């Protein structure tokens, strides 16, 4: 048993609890049958939805779509919206036990009338708006509002109650979450669905505008000869109020439709604005001009005959899948483009850095080149100085050699003089010795100081030798 919010997918056989009756209607992957609850005898409608057995299959409805429909239905409690009573599941189907709506479609009911006043039309449109207001208050968009999904609870009363049915395409609109899809019935979808743009509650308001147009005229505003032409008319908002169809329609009614069939979702009437529109709120007089329903009857006959190829988004499913793939490819291309732009920015930044570095390196290189040139110049100067110093050293060495030679010569000469002095001293000593003997005689005496006796250095000795030679010469002359 699967629980989804308040709804329960019961795994028992639905036939054990309900007597299944005749078929009430069918769609692409669903069949609706009348049923009676065995325990209470109350009649319901059993909607058998065929489950898709595999992701690769195109037959049946995906499990998550059924769960979404049940999740939304179990939350809805409004007089103008069908109610969900129970849910069963077996191997092939999910069975929704729904409120029995036996009055048929609104348009079929109105087409049986000879004429329709705008007052009656606004009463039915107001009920549709009330149901949609309840949905929109819960941020739920129906996305498949069309005559086939506007049913009457009972058509045997003066003013039947409208019931909105079939929530298979309904979605919760979440703030800040972008939602896109291609679904709905081509004749009633909004331009944003055709153009695969973000969707919101506004899409339902467009569909109400189309429904109102058809209700008052029996003509469809955008229906073309082909699906492609219909979608092109919607995208271009190509419609007009043909006098043939709207000759008896009030300007207020046309204004109401115009304000709904607006391409810009921001300018399109919101649900509360639609409820407050003068055409909806005004009390029309009974004697107002009656609208013929002949064309509406023709429209309902034609729409029922074309229902199989034109009634559900399943006809769009493959196209939607292709668009989703295209969207993914576009997103991928956008990511690639963004990464390319980012890479381009990085390359430009690196190139800018390289250019700056290159200029800096050139400047540094030029500075270094100049410094190297200066160093080479200084080196050459130093080399010249070194060579000059070497030459000076050689010259100095030669001079020192000459000085050394002269010193040796002087030293030899001094030695020779020393020998001569010694000889002179010995001679002088001999002379003095002889003189000392004579000096002992009266009046004769010679006294020499230590310096005079040759106790000085070689120079003194040389001088003393010279002095002694002078003295000897003088003595010799006296002698």
Instruction: Determine the angle formed by the axes of helices 317-439 and 458-478, rounding to 10 degrees.
Output: 20
Per the CB < 8 A criterion, the answer to whether 66 and 46 are in contact is no
Taking residue 251's Cβ as centre, other Cβ atoms within 10 Å add up to 11
Closest CA to 320 of 182, 145, 137: 182
- Nearest CA among 216, 258, 241, 204 for reference residue 116: 216
3-state class of 264 per DSSP? coil
Return d(Cα 235, Cα 447) in angstroms, integer.
156
Q: Which two tokens stand for residue 298?
A: 């023709």
Neighbours of 263 (CB within 10 A): 15
Q: Annotate 39-92 with DSSP letters as a single string.
A: TT--EEEEEEEEBP-STT--SSB-HHHHHHHHHHHTT---TTB--EEEEEE-SS
Q: Which two tokens stand for residue 432?
A: 């003095």
Distances from the Cα of 217 to the Cα of 235, 294, 299, 393, angstroms: 22, 9, 10, 128
Catalytic-role residue among 86, 93, 144, 204: 144
d(CA 209, CA 157): 26
Is 51 known as a binding-site position? yes
Q: What angle do CA 378, 383, 386 make, to 5 degrees?
A: 125
- Per the DSSP assignment, residues forming a β-bridge with 427 are none
Tokens at residue 103, please?
């009055």
What six digits make up the tokens of 301?
A: 């006959």
Do 187 and 222 touch, CB atoms closer than 8 A?
yes
Residue count (the chain): 479
Three-class secondary structure of residue 175 per DSSP = coil
Rounded to 5°, the CA angle 308-313-314 comes to: 70
- 3-class SS of residue 221: coil
**Could you tell me if 168 and 198 are in contact, meaning their C-beta atoms sit under 8 angstroms apart?**
no
Give Dmax over CA atoms of the chain in angstroms. 202
Verify whether residue 325 is a known catalytic residue: no
Give the number of other Cβ atoms within 10 Å of residue 5's Cβ. Answer: 11
Binding-site sequence positions for ATP: 51
Binding-site sequence positions: 51
Catalytic residues: 144
């Amino acid at each position: 048993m699967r629980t989804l919010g308040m709804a329960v997918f019961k795994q028992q056989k639905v036939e054990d609890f309900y007597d299944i009756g005749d078929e009430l209607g069918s769609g692409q992957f669903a069949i609706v049958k009348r049923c009676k609850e065995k325990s209470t005898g109350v009649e319901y409608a059993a909607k058998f939805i065929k489950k898709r057995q595999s992701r690769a299959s195109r037959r049946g409805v995906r499990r998550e779509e059924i769960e979404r429909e049940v999740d939304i239905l179990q939350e809805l409690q409004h007089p103008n919206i069908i109610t969900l009573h129970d849910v069963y599941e077996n191997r092939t189907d999910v069975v929704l036990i729904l409120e029995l709506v036996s009055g048929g479609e609104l348009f079929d009911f109105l087409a049986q009338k000879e004429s329709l006043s705008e007052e009656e039309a606004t009463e039915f449109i107001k009920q549709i708006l009330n149901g949609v207001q309840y949905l929109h208050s819960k941020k739920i968009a129906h996305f498949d509002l069309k005559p086939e999904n506007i049913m009457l609870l009972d058509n045997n009363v003066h003013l039947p109650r409208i019931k909105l049915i079939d929530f298979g395409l309904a979605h919760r609109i979440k703030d800040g979450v972008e939602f896109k899809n291609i679904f709905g019935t081509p004749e009633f979808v909004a331009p944003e669905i055709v153009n695969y743009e973000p969707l919101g509650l506004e899409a339902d308001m467009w569909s109400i505008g189309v429904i109102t147009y058809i209700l008052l005229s029996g003509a469809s505003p955008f229906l073309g000869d082909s699906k492609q032409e219909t979608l092109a008319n919607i995208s271009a908002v190509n419609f007009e109020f043909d006098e043939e169809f709207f000759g008896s329609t009030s300007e207020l009614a046309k204004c109401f439709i115009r304000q709904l069939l607006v391409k810009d979702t921001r300018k399109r009437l919101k649900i509360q604005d639609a409820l407050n529109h003068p055409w909806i709120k005004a009390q029309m007089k009974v004697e107002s001009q009656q609208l013929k329903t002949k064309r509406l009857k023709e429209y309902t006959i034609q729409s029922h005959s074309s229902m199989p190829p034109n009634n559900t988004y399943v006809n769009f499913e493959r196209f939607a899948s292709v668009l989703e793939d295209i969207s993914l490819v576009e997103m991928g291309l956008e990511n690639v483009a963004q990464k390319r732009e980012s890479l381009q920015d990085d390359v430009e930044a690196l190139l800018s850095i390289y250019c700056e570095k290159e200029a800096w390196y050139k400047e540094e290189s030029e500075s270094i080149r100049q410094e190297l040139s200066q160093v080479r110049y200084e080196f050459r100067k130093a080399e010249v100085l070194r060579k000059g110093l070497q030459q000076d050293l050689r010259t100095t060495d030669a001079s020192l050699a000459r000085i050394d030679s002269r010193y040796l010569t002087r030293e030899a000469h001094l030695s020779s003089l020393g020998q001569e002095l010694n000889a002179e001293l010995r001679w002088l000593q001999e002379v003095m010795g002889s003189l000392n003997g004579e000096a002992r005689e009266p009046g004769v005496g010679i006294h020499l100081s230590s310096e005079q006796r040759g106790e000085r250095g070689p120079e003194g000795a040389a001088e003393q030798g010279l002095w002694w030679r002078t003295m000897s010469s003088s003595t010799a002359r006296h002698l």
